[in-house]
Amino acid sequence: MEENLLPTSTATSLSETQPLLGKQRQRESLKLIWSEALAIMKSAIPIYGMNILEYSLVGVAVLSVGHISTVALAAAIIAEMSVNIVGLSIISGFTVTMDTVLSSAWTNPWLLVGLLAQSMTLIVGLVLLPTINIWFHTEALLLKFYQEPEVAKLAGLYLRCRCIGLPDLFTLSSSCVQLFQWAVFAMSRPNHGGRRSNQLVFELSLRKTWYPITLSKLRGILGSGNLGLLFKLGLTGVRSTVWGCWAWDIVGLAASQLGSNSVLASYAILLVTVSTLSQGPFSLGIATSIRIGNLLREKDALRAGAAAKSAVLHCTPCPPQFIRITVQRQSCYIYLPLIIDYFHIDVVSTVASIIPLLATFQIFDAIAGITSGILRARNKQILDAALNITAFCVLGIPLGFLLVFSKWSHMGLAGVWVALTFALVYIASFGLVMSVRTPNWEEEVRKAEMRVALEGEKERVELGARERRTEGL
């Protein structure tokens, strides 16, 4: 009787190619996607808080200059463009590479995490040297680009003051959340708010994550293998990030040639608005990259795919609210006088007419930022760089010049945002396909294992060589 209780069809229904566990875990359920969405949001909130506090140092500084004059506001935005082109975009490109390396190495012994952190610290520290030199000679460079002497002088003064806090640019990158602020943190200028919270994170995390520096272990930090790999990944990260930053600034500098400081002042307000709103998608992209990298290291391909899909869903609730707010553009006439005491009706009317375009811009900027984080988690920096280069160099910047200066378009400053929106539509469309539809997450798990194994093997070889040299002595 007991034998009849057994399922007689089991043996005949199985084959050599059929998975034993069936297909119950082959597709992500809505419950799994929802749980990953909550996990990503939970990780993104502190990152967003840090980023918005850090950027507030820039945004408040630029907009508060509007209380002086339109010329001062134009000089401030020219200086911030120089910061992005020469400093922030390059440094962030190097440090954002650590999202790929650290997220999958996090489950390894903490020595590897600290080793990678300090190796990248050395690379980025070397990048700071030519950056400071360029910032000190900004006034002469701006005069060669036919900027007004007064604007160039004030911009040069602004950048010389910013040199004191140049190491603060470390904390603007996504890796600082994982790397617990760099060793050069002590060089940065003191301030209240965001920097104090960073210091607290640094102190709490230093003991368990920072690779202990001794004379015997310094060779691991300076090892050509680690530095070469990180520098190569960093260059790819630079190619991926700089064109997004440079496109805004290059087209903005071109718009400044329209012959009015009011145009540049209007661009300053619009740029600060867009940059502030972009901190949300940027933070979600970082959290997504970290989450997917950790799941790949844990060999959980199913949850990694669910995390990628849930991250894209975060783009849906925010843009409609932003559209509703920005379409009510009459509010610009109420708030702009609070920003600019030197009330210039041209600045107010220009911003009021362009700000509804930012709603559409923000939708595709959010999708592009999140899909970029997914591609970084998959170690697809080259693909991400190719999307950014083709979007901005082939489409965004040329179209921006055409719309700004063409006589038949008569768009002026609005042409900048129309062109950049088209570029982001291209990035967002291809990014969705490359990060959600096409990935084989089982294969991504194997690739992550190979990357971490390679790093661990290099570290073990170097430790063994040092031990043998010590025994020989």
pLDDT tens per residue across span 137-147:
888 888 887 77
Q: What is the predicted pLDDT for the residue at 188?
A: 36
Residue 74 to residue 268: CA distance in whole angstroms: 7
Long-range contacts of 182-187 (CB under 8 A, 24+ apart): 182/117, 182/121, 182/124, 183/118, 183/121, 184/121, 184/125
The residue type found at 302 is L
Q: What is the predicted pLDDT for the residue at 133?
A: 84
Q: For residues 381-396, b (16+ Cβ closer than 10 Å) or e, as one string?
A: bebbbebbebbbeebb
Helix 224-255 to helix 70-82 angle, to the nearest 10 degrees? 150
> If pLDDT is split at 50, 70 and 90, which confidence band does 455 have?
low
Residue 27 to residue 164: CA distance in whole angstroms: 52
Q: Is 244 helix (H, G, I), strand (E, B) or coil?
A: helix
- Report the chain's mean pLDDT, rounded to a whole number: 70
Q: Which of 52-66, 101-115, 417-431 has the lowest mean pLDDT?
A: 101-115
Q: What is the predicted pLDDT for the residue at 219?
A: 55
* 8 vs 107: which has the higher pLDDT: 107
Q: What is the predicted pLDDT for the residue at 426?
A: 92
* 338 vs 376: which has the higher pLDDT: 376
Q: Which of 235-239, 365-369, 425-429 has the lowest mean pLDDT?
A: 235-239
Residue 286 to residue 174: CA distance in whole angstroms: 6
Q: What is the predicted pLDDT for the residue at 377?
A: 82
Helix 224-255 to helix 441-472 angle, to the nearest 10 degrees? 130
pTM metric for this prediction: 0.66
Which range has highest mean pLDDT (39-43, 237-241, 325-329, 352-356)? 39-43
Residue 167 to residue 262: CA distance in whole angstroms: 32
Share of the chain above pLDDT 90, in %: 0
Q: What is the Cα gyration radius of the chain?
A: 25
Burial class (CB in 10 A: 0-12, 13-18, 19+), 160: middle
